[in-house]
Structure 1
């Protein structure tokens, strides 16, 4: 029954969205029907006062007439939605997608000292780890790996479907790790590219997260992006940090102090990497926006993998909207004939 009457329009996309402009006509239709109802002449003359007339009136009937007007507006809205050719990727996936044909994803996370800044609570690196694990929990059948980098990079976890092991390695990420300081975006990206399989899998993806600019390494971000493009790897880049910078906790001989730190995020480089590899650049200024970015990447990748599996878009599904409209038309026609007595 849910499939026959699935009219949760917010779950749908539309092949012909220009028809949706007709929804602007619905309020005018309701206004016109209401004015017509108010001005409709009665079939009997009544010479008493309005107060007396209301005593004999039925509030129930008045409500029913309003409901019938709203019903007409909903019918029109459903017909417009049906004309817009709705389709639902989720239904298409549930019915057809074979999760054994997963994709390869490498999470590439900056663990330089600036990731300890506290414009995210408790700090950037802890939020990055938390949201990355949530992303892993949302995948099915994909091989996911982890690369960590600062002034140099290392593979924290090869691409695997053992998500429990992967999440343990994400938890173990530490900005105090014994690696060279700095931010080597090119080295981090290059290392991630080498961790992806070379066979013809449907999709290969790198999600690269940083809060800084490239200042270390013997390979530039542009060169690493060229390598990713050559291997048909799509790179989504995420820049983290508040627009105004963050606050760093520093241990001094006089105790622990918190010092404001300006952001040195190189958004231009991250954008160029994304464009060159057919990915997308995102900016996260807090935990909520970072979680939303991972959600968007998940949806984008789901669609791309479906495109490769089916080589076609899902079919339009207007039937549920038409079924609902038909039911409401029958109700709108039948209710007055059952409740309102017609004069012969």
Structure 2
């Protein structure tokens, strides 16, 4: 694992593109001035030693050396020893519905986008916990195994769309069962499934799966997203999805189903609307779970790596100094650079 002891110095790398722009502008200005004084056909005879490629090569070597020195100043360090630390936390598997109905916009900006925001905020509140992600529609798959890598969790979250699953539908039972098999084999800590859906269970088996989770000591919290009056589903072409009869499809939040699943799973039902109340209620419920010992792999020792970058920079500086802007008469027959 690579880290920087002084990452604030990396902001100096913003100077690199600025210098490139300044050099490019000055070079073009200089070339324009020469062309205005001397005809292009005469320039070769008047400046026989001129090289077209040496000046930019020298400049980019200097620029690269500068970038390497800036990185060295930030003190890159590589982890050389991994140790397992015990920390108290919970395990939470998120089961996110990504069926087409989650594109409905009765919750802003859409049910799916609102769900992503809620999950991201939940993860931001985690510290020593573990989180995993299962996505489902007509079938389910594990998007992210349970982990302490919250950065990756949020990264995977942003890429979720209904197009990831070809089989449409809403198999809530299958998603809960997959979450149950994704936890670590520990009995002394709180484990939760956070199910986010609009409750349109097309496959059945959700209640039975929730009861199974409860027997395993896993609480199932259901976040029903949407409005009871329903919302239209965008078709991606400026209109809305229609059924076989040409009528616009209205997706309605099935709160009764959501409540039944939560009750069977020993958790609670939370309605998600356009306020922050759902986020607050979820955080409160998760905070009640028993925290147990979790082993987290961390790098405990780091070795300085700046020397490598300094040596590379010095090498480039020496090569740049030995490279003339004009053709070297001592090596006239060795053409490393074209005219």
When normalised by structure 1's length, the TM-score is 0.55
Alignment of 1:103-142 (within 5 A): 103-142=90-129
- Is 2:149 aligned against 1:149? no
Of 99-108 and 200-209, more deviation after overlay is shown by: 99-108
- Is 2:270 aligned against 1:285? no
Shift of 1:143: 0.5
Partner of 1:295: 280
Partner of 2:173: 186
Alignment of 1:258-269 (within 5 A): 258=240, 261-269=249-257
Return the structure number with greater relative CO, CA threshold 8 A, min gap 6: 2
8 Å contact from structure 1 (residues 236, 274) kept in 2: yes
Q: In the alignment, which of 203, 210, 224 is matched to residue 190 of structure 2?
A: 203
Shift of 1:99: 8.5
Structure 1: gaps of 5 or more residues: 1-97, 310-344
Shift of 1:209: 0.7
When normalised by structure 2's length, the TM-score is 0.56
- Is 2:226 aligned against 1:241? yes
Shift of 1:295: 2.0
SS at match of 1:237: strand
Shift of 1:262: 2.7
| Number of matched pairs | 203
Q: Deviations over 1:109-168 (max 9, x none)?
A: 000001111122221111111121011001111100000000000000011111001111
1:302 and 1:269 mapped to 2: Cα distance? 25
Q: Deviations over 1:79-100 (max 9, x none)?
A: xxxxxxxxxxxxxxxxxxx991
Partner of 2:215: 230
8 Å contact from structure 1 (residues 243, 285) kept in 2: no
8 Å contact from structure 2 (residues 138, 168) kept in 1: yes
Partner of 1:101: 88
- Residues 272 and 243 of structure 1, relative CA distance in 2, 3 Å threshold: closer
8 Å contact from structure 1 (residues 212, 263) kept in 2: no
Structure 1 residue runs of 4 or more that deviate by more than 3 Å after TM superposition: 258-261
More helix, by proportion: 1
More strand, by proportion: 2
2:196 and 2:228 mapped to 1: Cα distance? 16
1:169 and 1:127 mapped to 2: Cα distance? 16
Partner of 1:81: none
